[in-house]
Amino acid sequence: MTNSLKLAVFTDLDGTLLDHDTYSWDAAQPALDRLARQQCSVILASSKTAAEILLLQDSMALSGQPALVENGSGLIGLVGTHSPRTYTALREILDLVPQTLRAHFRGFGDMSAEDVSSLTGLSPKAAALAQTRDYSEPGLWSGGEEELRTFYTALAQHGVSAQRGGRFLTLSFGRTKADAMTHVIHALKPDLTLALGDAPNDVEMLERADLGVIVANPHHALLPMLAGERDGRIIRTRDPGPVGWNIAVNEILDRLFPE
Ligand SMILES: [Mg+2]
């Protein structure tokens, strides 16, 4: 049975809906099925590229739903939304940064598909899709914290900002998951929004949503206490990845759509 509440769920993938190590979402399938039965929108919001997200949407029976790609610097699945492609410009700006700093940043564009594969655990074919970029450049930083701040300043002079996700430092022209989320909310006009994430680059999205879930990720430092946690708008899961995702979403659905 469905009720008329329009719920839109924005979810990060790696370490949130997908297991940090295996990339499986099996444990979250019961909650995903329930969201489908209630005709809720499920908007994948990830650092992944459009090429990767389209495949995942297909496997998850979410084809045609909007999705936030490359950390929100791009948006797919919404008619009339145009995200200017900026990858070539980003790579050109990287070459303008002083060589002493540039040498510490190894972006996906500096790596072979085999490099990306061994770093991420993706198959070489999937790694090639991760390298099919339109809007942003993830990479590894091998320098110190002080050099990193100088790197940020050098990039900022060209309008480029950097964000730290679970694994990578990602460069873009600054549009975030929360910015792209605002576009989706304007288009879908949901009654209620729920966001789930595990890393600092999800915080704005968690704060922007009506309800937020911080999914436990023992692979990195705990997120600091968020404002919404004090009033219970944002909760934390005990279990990591899709297991925590499934429990939290089911509990929220129990309240919103009692079966
Ligand atoms: Mg994540």
Task: Give the pLDDT of residue 200.
Answer: 87
**Is pLDDT of 2 > 60?**
no
pLDDT > 90: what percent of the chain?
A: 83
| Torsion angles phi and psi, residue 186, rounded to 5 | -60, -35
Report whether pLDDT(106) > 80. Answer: yes
Query: Cβ(45)–Cβ(70) under 8 Å?
Result: no
Return residues with CB closer than 5 A to ligand 1 (ion).
12, 14-15, 166, 198-199
The pLDDT value recorded for residue 130 is 93
More confident residue, 226 or 1: 226
Please tell me which residue, 73 or 245, carries the higher pLDDT value.
245
CA 98–ligand 1 middle distance (angstroms): 30
Residue 134 in tokens = 């339109």
Using 50, 70 and 90 to split pLDDT, how confident is the model at 3?
low
Over 80: is that where the pLDDT of 247 sits?
yes
Q: Which residues are catalytic?
A: 12
CA of 217 to the centre of ligand 1 (A): 8
- Distance from Cα 99 to the centre of ligand 1, integer Å: 30
Residues 6 or more apart whose CB falls under 8 angstroms from that of 85 comprise: 134, 135
Residues 158, 225: Cα–Cα separation, whole Å: 33
Residue spans in the chain of domains classed CATH 3.30.980.20: 87-172
Closest to 219 (Cα-Cα) out of 153, 144, 121: 121
251 Cβ contact list (under 8 Å, min separation 6): none
Residue 1 pLDDT exceeds 60: no
SS3 at position 117: helix
Q: Is residue 80 over pLDDT 80?
A: no
Q: Is the domain defined by 87-172 classed in CATH 3.30.980.20?
A: yes
Q: Which residues pair with 212 in a beta bridge?
A: 195, 234
Mean residue pLDDT across the chain:
93
Global pTM? 0.84
Which distant-in-sequence residues (6+ apart) come within 8 Å of 125 by Cβ? none
Res 258: pLDDT: 84
Average pLDDT of the segment spanning 151-173 = 89
**Centroid of ligand 1 to alpha carbon of 15 (angstroms):** 5
Answer whether residue 20 shows pLDDT above 70: yes
Q: Please, which pLDDT band fits residue 134 given cuts at 50, 70 and 90?
A: very high
CA gyration radius for the chain?
18
In this prediction, residue 186 carries a pLDDT of: 95
> What average pLDDT does this structure show over 159-179?
86
Class of the 7-79+176-256 domain? Answer: alpha beta
Residue 166, pLDDT score: 65
Quote the pLDDT of residue 81.
64
Q: Which pLDDT band, with edges at 50, 70 and 90, does 78 fall under?
A: confident
pLDDT at 143 over 90: yes
Give the model confidence (pLDDT) of 29-53 as tens digits: 999 999 999 999 999 999 899 999 9
Domain with CATH 3.40.50.1000 in the chain: 7-79+176-256
Q: Please give the distance, rounded to the nearest whole angstrom, from the Cα atom of residue 244 to the centre of ligand 1.
A: 13
